[in-house]
Structure 1
Amino acid sequence: MFNIGFRGSPFIRDEENLLLGRLEGFGLHEDFWSPLDYWQEEQYEVQWRQGIQRVLDGKISALIVSMRDPELSNFIDWWLLYAFEDQVIFQNQMLFLQNLRAPFNTDDIYTSIRPYRRHNLEGEALSEWRVPKCALQDFMK
């Protein structure tokens, strides 16, 4: 089973409008807080479906779970998706915007995805989930 979606209603915390979301895949789950000041709930959901379809088409992809105005923010929280044979590898990362060669483009977010790496610069294994492609295909139905 695979699922990504929102749970409950938006609320204000530290003057920021937030919505609780959850990513689930084969016994694992990760809760996240999505700010609603720059993107609304529907924009996240549209991007998630586009991102999932993209990885099912064999391309590197991402699911943004925390999007703030890139001109005012330091980072974006996203899950990178890499297709390998009959599985999709998920890696949760913070995209630090000041490290990009060009400004982050919300119309073409996928150009900011780095190639797949199993280890970080220090040689430590990155945390990742592996989910069968068929679970993502079922989600898209």
Structure 2
Amino acid sequence: MFGIFFKDKDTSFDNGYGMHILASISLGEYVEELHIPIDYWGIEEYKNSWATSIADGIEKKKHSVLITSMHEPESLNFISTWIVYYGGEISYVQNKIIFIDDFPEFDASKINEYVNKREVLNEDGFKISEWIVKTKDVIDFYDSIIGLV
């Protein structure tokens, strides 16, 4: 299974850094809880961004960058993302922080352009944590967020 799922869409909370909503990401059998900020983007903006990124990534057979923390662009320092790297029937998913200062003309609608090809070692030579999911599960998630399922 793969997907990012909002828990209770009607219940938000302030975690000291603005309003958030509980969600989880399913990566095969691994599930991680997420606190997704909703001060700037709402649930639909996240879903639209994910759908656009997945469609682009699958079409180009590269990767999709799924933003899970978007804030006001003027005060934005970084965004949390989950990147899906497509590898045929299986895909590799990595969690990555993207620092906005690295991209002076940052545009969230072009998020896939800010990530390079998959790397398995970080700059210090350590293995980057990643999860393996079925590409079909990513496509099923895409279908669910655009309303086909």
Structures share a fold, TM > 0.5? yes
**What corresponds to 1:122 in structure 2?**
124
Aligned to 2:68, what secondary structure does the other structure show? strand
Alignment gaps of 5+ in structure 2: 144-148
- TM-score (norm: length of structure 2): 0.85
Amino acid at match of 1:6: F
Q: 1:15 to 1:56 in 2, by over 3 A?
A: closer
The one of 91, 94, 99 aligned to 2:97: 94
> Aligned-pair distance for 1:70?
2.8
Out of 60, 66, 70, the position equivalent to 2:69 is: 66
User: Residue in 2 aligned with 1:7?
Assistant: 7
Q: Secondary structure at the match of 2:71?
A: coil
| Deviation >4 Å, runs of 4+ | none
Separation in structure 2 between the aligned mates of residue 131 and residue 53 of structure 1, nearest angstrom: 17
RMSD value over aligned CA atoms? 1.6
Deviations 1:1-21 (A, max 9, x none): 222121122122226111111
Instruction: Structure 1: state its 5+ residue gaps.
Output: none
- The 1:110–1:137 alpha-carbon spacing in structure 2 relative to 1, beyond 3 Å, is closer
2:38 corresponds to which of 27, 36, 39: 36
Taking structure 1 as the reference length, the TM-score comes to 0.90
How far apart, in 2, do the equivalents of 1:61 and 1:87 lie? 14
How many residues matched?
140
The one-character-per-residue Cα deviations of 1:68-96 (angstroms, maximum 9, x if unpaired) are 12321210000111111211111101001
